[in-house]
Amino acid sequence: MKTFPTSAVWCFGILFISVSLITTGSSEVQVVGPADRVVALAGDDIILPCFLKPNVSAKNMTVNWTRLNAKAENVHLYDESRDSYVDQFPSYKGRTSMFHEELKNGNVSLKLNRVNLSDAGNYSCLIPTLMKETTVQLFVGAVFQPVISINGTKDWGVVLKCESGGWFPEPEMEFLNSSGTILPADGPPEKYKASEDLYALRRHVTVDQTDTNRFTCRVQQPEINHTKETEIHVPGEVFIG
């Protein structure tokens, strides 16, 4: 009957224990993303959060960020303790980075500079070493300052026109007086496309003379929780004509 040398048995045991520890350790580490989507405005620099829990070092791991489009786009690759841009999708060139000093704390988040509407979507944060990943959703909006102007007179009132283009998603528009009361507009807003992706609005309101003659056009987009306002002061003599 053959027997293994004591040294061989000892080496095999050490190898078995090491593999078991690696497997067990990997199964305990989780790749965690944010609970909610990341909301940004076009032009912002933003962070797509991704962490290892518990906070183990990722300095010697591979981190692969991809955008889950119809065809996956390579966004950023950290491999062999350095960044690699060999197969990076062209639209992300020069716009991605990771927090190298934070890798030791399990922070594998991605910074994306100058986001645009086409960056919106789902991003995968994959750690091949652990065979685990999480998904981060990025929503990108766009806003534009409204322009309000005098558009003539009507009876004893003055007609104000407000326009605002360059919004995404489609916004809402309303007029307010100086006390913050919403004024009834002259019909529904005129909606049109400012470009292929951006929305624009135009609306009119007839206002009567007040103590202040100050009126505000407010444009807001609840989905991205953003509001833009412009105030106008109508000279008293305009109401007389």
Return the pLDDT at 27.
60
Return the pLDDT at 205.
97
Q: Reply yes or no on whether the pLDDT at 90 is more than 80.
A: yes
* For residues 102-121, average pLDDT: 97
Return the pLDDT at 71.
85
For the chain, give the percent of residues with pLDDT over 70.
88
* For residues 204-225, average pLDDT: 94
> From CA 115, how far away is CA 124, in angstroms rounded?
17
Give the model confidence (pLDDT) of 120-177 as tens digits: 999 999 999 899 999 999 999 999 999 999 999 988 899 999 999 999 999 999 999 9
Q: Determine the topology of domain 30-141 in CATH.
A: Immunoglobulin-like (2.60.40)
Return the pLDDT at 14.
33
Looking at domain 147-240, its CATH superfamily turns out to be Immunoglobulins (2.60.40.10)
Q: Reply yes or no on whether the pLDDT at 216 is more than 70.
A: yes
Q: Where in the chain is the domain with CATH 2.60.40.10?
A: 30-141, 147-240
Q: Reply yes or no on whether the pLDDT at 26 is more than 60.
A: no
